[in-house]
Structure 1
Amino acid sequence: MKKKSSLKAVKKAGVKRGKAVTLSTRNARITQNLGNGFERFVFQPFTVLPGRFLTITLSSGTLRSVISAGWSISGLLPAYATDSFPARTNQWIIVIHNPTVFTRTVTPYLITKFT
C-alpha cells in the first residue's frame, strides 16, 4: 500500500505548506486579567521555517468567547498573516507566512471574554 506524503496530507487538510499547531488557554504561559471579564493569553513561541507557513488554532474553552488574536515574530524582516479570523465563538485561526530565508519564532496572543 502506497503512503501519502506528509505534504499531501497537510494540503488535503486545508493547511498551507508548513506546520499546524492547536493551542488552548490551558496551555498559555502567561495569563493576564484585563478587567470586566477580559483576559489576555500569551503562548509559547513556535518556529516557522524559511518560506513556510505556520497555522495556529487558538481555543478559549466553553466559558470564554474569543475577541481578538495577534502574534509577534522574531527579527526585523517581513512576515505576514495570510488569514486571521474567528472560526467559531471560542476559536481563532491565524496563518502566518515567513517569506524570508531565516527560521523565525512566532509568539501567539489571544484576547477572550467570559460569557
Structure 2
Amino acid sequence: MYGYQGYYPYQVNFGYGYQIPNEQFQLIQRQQPLDLSTEGATNSQNLGNGFHRYAWEERTIPGSTYLGVRIFAGSKKVITAGYGVAKYAPIYAMESFPRTANQWYMTIYNPTDADRQLGIYLIAKD
C-alpha cells in the first residue's frame, strides 16, 4: 500500500468494497479557551508611541493538551502575541493570528505528560 512513510491510513475491506480508517491516533484532550483581557493583565508597560506590552504570567497548560487562548485588547489594536514556557521540553504553537483588529487568538499544544507554566504576552497599539 502507498502512504506517508509506508503508512496507509485505511484498511481495505475487499469483501464489501469500502475502506475502514485505521485507528492509529489517540484522542488528545482540548481545554476550553482561556480568555484574557488587557484589564486583567498581571503586568503591563507603556512602550511609548502608543504601544503597550501586556503579560499574563503563572498560567498552566496540562500535559498532552491543546490550549486555546483568546486575548481581548479592548479599544487597542493587536500587533503580535506570544508565550514563554517553563521546563525546557517541546511545546508548539499550532496557530497564532489576529482574529479581529482587537483580538488575538492562539492554540498551544503541550505534547509532554507534564503540566507546564506559561507566560502569555501581547503587544498592542492605541
What is the TM-score with the length of structure 1 in the denominator? Answer: 0.81
Q: For structure 1, which runs of at least 5 residues remain unmatched after alignment?
A: 1-15
Whole-Å Cα distance in 2 between the matches of residues 91 and 45 of structure 1? 21
Give structure 2 stretches of 5+ with no counterpart: 1-28
* Residue 33 of structure 2: aligned partner: 20
SS of aligned partner of 2:39: helix
Report SS of the residue matched to 1:75: coil
Equivalent in the alignment of 2:124: 112
| Residue 93 of structure 2 corresponds to residue 94 of structure 1 | no
Bigger radius of gyration, 1 or 2? 2
Q: Which amino acid aligns with 2:49?
A: N
Shift of 1:18: 2.2
Q: Which one scores higher on RCO, CA 8 angstroms, separation ≥ 6?
A: 1
Structure 2 counterpart of 1:76, from 82, 88, 99: 88
Amino acid at match of 1:26: E
Deviation of 1:55 (Å):
0.8
Runs of 4+ in 1 over 4 A off after TM superposition: none
**Contact 1:19-1:48 within 8 A present in 2 as well:** no
Contact persistence 1:19–1:53 (CA under 8 A): no
TM score, norm. by length of structure 2: 0.74
Q: Distance in 2 between matches of 1:111 and 1:60?
A: 9
Instruction: Give the length in aligned residue pairs.
Output: 98
Q: Give the alignment partner of residue 115 of structure 2, picking from 103, 106, 110.
A: 103
Give the aligned partner of residue 60 of structure 2: 47
Q: Deviations over 1:51-94 (max 9, x none)?
A: 101111001002x1000001011100010100100000000001
Match of 1:6 in 2: none
Aligned partner of residue 109 in structure 1, secondary structure: strand
State how far apart, in whole Å, the 2-side matches of 1:71 and 1:94 are.
10
Alignment-derived partner of residue 14 in structure 2: none
**What fraction of aligned residue pairs are identical, expressed as a percent?**
39
